């Protein structure tokens, strides 16, 4: 588990470290800058030796970190030019301390004034490496003026760009781009990662993320109670083991209720997902006239409901014959009146855990979202979440953390908000972010597989919140395994076939110690090395 901090939480920890722990602000800034320098040498040593390096600084604390970087690199013999956006007279606080130290050590500083930006842009364009220290985590307004133009210079530069703390222009709390933002090859942040490093679109701009220790006591994070955390393999390792004397009756029976005209594949994919993560049995209940048996894997059982191609109004009288350990409801189900009646009857009658996906969510949205309770797991994509909350997809995506919390509060249930950086939460719990997954998963049926995965874990005895977290993580890692040779043309069935391998990655030792500096690959890549220890 890795806590993701807001800008305010990080400021609070900085203040506490300065006032209560007794580490002066300039010392914290110096340690931060030296951490950046260490990361630069580890990743870009040939470019540092080649030079020149351009360090682009704003007038605030992010620029102060940049002054430390420039001074330390210069002292190590690197050819460095520091570009200050504006006048040195307007630099204050701890940043002014380090600006003075940079100048005192003989560093090359160029003050970039309005109308005199051509030379600065040329310096950036000719550099072997660029350091972005312009705006940092305090940004709240749209980037304008010289800062916006500096972002453009850096994005147009042929050399790699390394951002200090967060790419300039990214909102560190939401990941939103404030008008324009730097596309970094790598980002070096301090003490703990920030939300905007893992929430899109900012997550796509940070490149490789390096988190360096700057001397804030590790238990300091307990003072702020971070509400968003990254889910790691070590959080899940050893949570689910197949007993040596297992038989199919002990490994859980999942019933998938779904299917309608034109959507006969969805329940089959859900059932396949359930079996691929170890459910002992999987049954698909669907309208009998669909002939769905011909579309299903051989290992999946069926329960025909009626003789027509639509759900009969009294479907529950047939479906209630099932005695599963967990239900999955909604994949390809349609939104007919019979489907609606079946949903209401099942939710009212069963005390078994239920995964609600796809058309089950659309029916709930159309009829008014009830209090569902803790034994229900909702798995909406952003469009379905928007319908459930009576808002727009754009508003869901603008603040995904608030959206998943709101939907969980309203329903009293576990919610898995699918998408780039899937989020999982439950009433009274923190929000957990899944750092795996890739664009190749943006294809029909992958959500149906996820519903089946979670259903299987519920059937195997995991509590709903634990099943949702494990299911979302395994599903995303399987997607990465399926995309090992590219993300184009991947099918939901490809992902399902890699689920056993994804489950196998959880056999590691969760007590393995962590390094002082932590590294995370660029989001959306298929490198799962940092997620599988």
Q: For residue 226, what pLDDT is reported? A: 87
Sequence-ordered strand ranges (E) for 397-493 = 414-417, 423-425, 431-433
- What does the alpha-carbon distance between residue 149 and residue 172 come to, in Å, rounded to a whole number? 20
pTM of the entire predicted model: 0.93
Mean pLDDT by 10 residues, the chain (533 residues): 94 96 97 98 97 97 98 98 96 97 97 90 97 94 95 97 98 95 98 96 96 93 92 82 85 97 96 97 97 91 96 97 96 97 97 98 94 97 98 96 97 97 97 95 97 98 97 97 94 97 78 68 56 32
List, in order of start, the domains of the chain with CATH numbers: 2-226 (3.40.50.10260), 250-506+514-520 (3.40.1190.20)
CB distance 267 to 452 below 8 Å = no
**Quick one: pLDDT at residue 474?**
97
Contacts of residue 203, Cβ cutoff 8 Å, sequence gap at least 6: 175, 196, 197, 420, 421, 523, 524
Q: Which residue has the tokens 């391998």?
A: 501
Asked whether 401 and 431 are in contact (CB, 8 A), the reply is yes
For 37, 140, 403, the CA distances from 394, given in Å and listed in that order, are: 39, 19, 11
Residue 168 contacts residue 152 (beta carbons within 8 Å): no
Question: How many C-beta atoms surround the C-beta of residue 49 within 10 A?
Answer: 13
The per-residue pLDDT for 508 is 58
Q: For residue 140, what pLDDT is reported?
A: 85
> Quick one: tokens of 201?
């679109």
Indicate the SS3 state at residue 190: strand
What is the C-alpha separation between 216 and 371, in angstroms, rounded?
A: 42
């Amino acid at each position: 588990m890795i806590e993701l901090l807001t800008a305010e939480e990080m400021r609070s920890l900085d203040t506490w470290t300065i006032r209560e722990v007794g580490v002066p602000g300039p010392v914290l800034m110096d340690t931060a800058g030296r951490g950046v320098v260490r990361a630069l040498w580890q990743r870009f040593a040939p470019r540092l030796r080649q030079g020149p390096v351009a360090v682009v600084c704003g007038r605030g604390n992010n620029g102060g970190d940049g002054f430390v970087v420039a001074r330390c690199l210069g002292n190590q013999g690197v050819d460095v030019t520091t570009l200050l956006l504006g006048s040195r007279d307007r630099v204050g606080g701890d940043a002014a301390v380090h600006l003075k130290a940079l100048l005192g050590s003989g560093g090359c500083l160029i003050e970039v004034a309005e109308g005199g930006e051509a030379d600065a842009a040329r310096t950036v364009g000719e550099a072997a490496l660029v350091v972005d220290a312009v705006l940092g985590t305090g940004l709240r307004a749209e980037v304008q003026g010289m800062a916006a133009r500096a972002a453009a210079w850096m994005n147009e530069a042929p050399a790699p760009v390394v951002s200090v703390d967060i790419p300039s222009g990214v909102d560190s709390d939401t990941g939103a781009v404030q008008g324009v933002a730097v596309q970094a090859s790598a980002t070096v942040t301090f003490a703990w990662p920030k939300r905007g490093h893992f929430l899109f679109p900012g997550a796509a701009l940070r490149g490789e993320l390096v988190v360096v220790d700057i001397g804030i006591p590790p238990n300091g994070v307990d003072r702020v109670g971070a509400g968003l955390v990254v889910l790691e393999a070590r959080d899940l390792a050893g949570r689910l083991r197949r007993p040596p004397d297992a038989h199919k009756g002990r490994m859980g029976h999942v019933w998938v209720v779904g299917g309608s005209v034109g959507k006969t594949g969805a329940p089959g994919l859900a059932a396949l997902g359930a079996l691929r993560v170890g459910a002992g049995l999987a049954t698909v209940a669907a309208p009998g006239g669909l002939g769905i048996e011909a579309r299903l894997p051989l290992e999946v059982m069926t329960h025909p409901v009626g003789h027509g191609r639509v759900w009969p109004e009294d479907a529950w009288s047939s479906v209630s014959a099932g005695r599963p350990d967990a239900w999955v409801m909604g994949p390809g189900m349609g939104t007919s009146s019979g489907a609606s009646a079946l949903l209401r009857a099942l939710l009212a009658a069963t005390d078994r855990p239920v995964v609600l996906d796809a058309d089950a969510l659309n029916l709930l949205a159309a009829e008014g979202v009830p209090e569902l309770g803790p034994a229900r797991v909702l798995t909406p994509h952003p469009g379905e979440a928007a319908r459930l909350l009576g808002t727009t997809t754009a508003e869901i995506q603008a603040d995904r953390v608030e959206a998943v919390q709101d939907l969980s509060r309203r329903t009293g249930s576990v919610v898995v908000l699918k998408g780039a950086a899937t989020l999982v939460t439950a009433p009274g719990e923190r929000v957990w972010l899944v750092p795996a997954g890739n664009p190749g998963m943006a294809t029909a049926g992958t959500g149906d597989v996820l519903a089946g995965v979670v259903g299987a874990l519920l059937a195997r005895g995991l509590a709903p919140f634990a099943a949702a977290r494990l299911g979302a993580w395994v599903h995303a890692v399987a997607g990465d395994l399926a995309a090992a040779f590219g993300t184009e043309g991947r099918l939901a069935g490809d992902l399902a076939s890699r689920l056993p391998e994804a489950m196998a990655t959880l056999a590691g030792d969760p007590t393995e110690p962590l390094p002082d500096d932590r590294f995370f690959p660029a989001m959306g890549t298929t490198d799962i090395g940092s997620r599988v220890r």
